[in-house]
Structure 1
Amino acid sequence: MNLSETDFLLAITTFIIMILILMMVLIYGVFVKKKSQLLLFQQRKDSLFEQELAISQIEMKEQTLNYIGQELHDDLGQKLSVARLMMSKISSGNEEDIKKIGSEINMLIGECIQDIRNLSKLFISNQVKHFGFVESLEREISRIERLQLMDVDYKINNQDLEINSNHALILFRIIQECITNVIKHSKSNKLSIEVEEFLDIITISIHDDGIGFSSNSINDGSGLKNIKNRAQIINADFIIKSTKNLGTQIRITYKKQVTWKE
């Protein structure tokens, strides 16, 4: 009888040990599967980020070339044309006029040299990485105002924002796309842009008082979907609210505490 009880206890103990081993194997299997899924998800996320970064870099290069072409035609071309006209007056002018014209030509040539240096910086490296996010944004605003596309009310609470350089490029492209949409579609003559940095986040608010659009347009627009996808890739929140004839409000919230692979 004692031997039977011993065999029974041994069998129970063996069964329990086998169950525990099986549970550990199952738990380990689930852990490995979850880990593999997380690694695969992260790889996909990194791949999407790299693709979006490459697309943004190509877009920035194309825009840079367009910008340089426009600057060469509108700014440098005009200054050199003025200098040429002044040169033609030297032969018929008196000594005092020649000195005055010479001084003005010298000033114009100096401005042209500085303009060429500024433009050459755009070729040296990526605009956002070279100038920084804030300066790139302010250059964009300056271009809009110089071309008289609309008046811009711009506010920022910190000129030295902490943004991953690759994230800054994509964030800048998001803002550019929003601004382009406002210029093309809003029929507004005023744009408000406010950048605020807090401890863990940076918020960018873009507002116009144009014609607005319906909620169906918000949901169906492929351009807005593209912007939202870009925001998601850098772990930013993108919210847009628009009312017919009352304008559009956009708010982008970039989370600084989240780091991504460079």
Structure 2
Amino acid sequence: MNLSEIDFLLVITTFIVLLVIVMMIMVYGIFIKKKSQLILSQQRKDAHFEQELAISQVEIKEQTLNYIGQELHDDLGQKLSVARLMTNKIILAGDREKDQIAKEVNLLIGECIQDIRNLSKVFISTQVKHFGFVESLEREIFRIERLELLKVKYDINNHGLEISPDHALILFRIIQECINNVIKHAKSNNLVIKVKDELNFIEIFINDYGIGFNPENKADGSGLKNIKNRAKIINANFRIRSTAARGTEITITYQKPSPWKG
């Protein structure tokens, strides 16, 4: 082999080596870019999730304060007003009547104390993470029935189901918003809530028997869009079907996280 052939092979070998190095650099560059994009996308998702979580926490606190205010005015305030009127009667009453009035006042005060204890539990338990999704939902149903806003038919196949606290908070807020929409707009006296715990998902059905509405209506669409966006960030699917004069059916399907993740 003469010198020119050796030089030629050396040039070819050098070219191939350089080409491989350039390709490796390009592949590495693409890998880094994709990785950076994935990290940035995940950071955006995390930031969006944290924002929705914070909003849900504030909304639940506002809902709780509204409930406490209504209870203080409508129930506790009325009982204390009656107790005050009855104590005024004691001055003019006879001995026997005074004893009866005193007993009734004592009973009223006892009811007021119990009401205050119940309200304090509601106030302390504003965070769903303190007592779980199921108990939060059942407390909300109790509140609705306590205020005689709706007659609720409630069914659940597993009272021990568990959802991560952050996801439970957002899921509960979605349900709470749906219930509030029924109270405000459906013109219905009845509500059906069913919770089915399946192997890989949890399905929640919310049915009213009110006047129904058009989901495509722009006035209603923005609220539904916000609910769907919230559902999406916790890997849940939100479906709604409404028929005039037959009411609205809502189905929320929450996909359970894989046990292999995290």
Any idea what SS the aligned residue of 2:155 has? Answer: strand
Say if 2:22 is the partner of 1:34: no
Which residue of structure 1 aligns with residue 209 of structure 2? 209
> Corresponding residue for 1:184?
184
- Which residue in 1 is equivalent to 2:53? 53
**1:1-262 equivalent positions in 2, closer than 5 A:** 1-88=1-88, 90=90, 92-95=93-96, 101-124=101-124, 126-217=126-217, 221-257=221-257
Scaled by the length of structure 2, the TM-score of the pair is 0.87
Separation in structure 2 between the aligned mates of residue 205 and residue 54 of structure 1, nearest angstrom: 25
Quickly say closer, same or farther: Cα 1:122–1:141, change in 2 above 3 A: closer
Structure-1-length-normalised TM-score:
0.87
- The answer (yes or no) to whether the contact 2:202–2:256 under 8 Å persists in 1 is yes
CA shift digits 1:50-70 (9 cap, x unpaired)? 111121122122222111111
Q: Which moved further from structure 2: 100-109 or 127-136?
A: 100-109
- The share of aligned pairs that are identical, in percent, is 70
SS in 2 for 1:206: strand
Shift of residue 38, structure 1, vs aligned partner: 0.8
> Is the 1:150–1:190 Cα contact (8 Å) retained in structure 2?
yes
- Work out the CA distance in 1 between the residues paired with 2:66 and 2:151: 22
- Deviation string for 1:43-92 (max 9, x for gaps)? 11111111111211221222221111111111211222333344345552
Report the alpha carbon displacement of residue 120 of structure 1 after superposing the two structures with TM. Answer: 2.3
**Structure 2 Cα separation of the partners of residues 245 and 5 of structure 1:** 91
Q: Distance in 1 between matches of 2:157 and 2:100?
A: 44
Residue 29 to residue 219, structure 1, CA distance change in 2 (3 Å): farther
Point out the more displaced range, 170-179 or 75-84.
75-84
For 2:63 and 2:135, how far apart are their aligned partners in 1? 16
Deviation at 1:190, TM superposition (A): 1.4
Structure 2 distance, partners of 1:25, 1:219, is 53
Aligned alpha-carbon RMSD (Å): 2.5
Is the 8 Å Cα contact of residues 193 and 207 (structure 2) preserved in structure 1?
yes
Unmatched segments (≥5 aa) in structure 2: none
Separation of aligned partners in 1, 2:145 and 2:61? 22
Is contact 1:207–1:248 with CA below 8 Å preserved after alignment?
yes
Structure 1: tracts of 5 or more residues without a match: none
CA–CA separation in structure 2 for the residues paired with 1:220 and 1:129: 30
- Alpha-carbon separation, structure 1, partners of 2:67 and 2:129: 17
Q: Secondary structure at the match of 1:34?
A: helix
Conserved 8 A contact 1:218-1:224: no
What's the CA shift for 1:246? Answer: 2.4
CA contact (8 A) 1:211 1:247 kept: yes
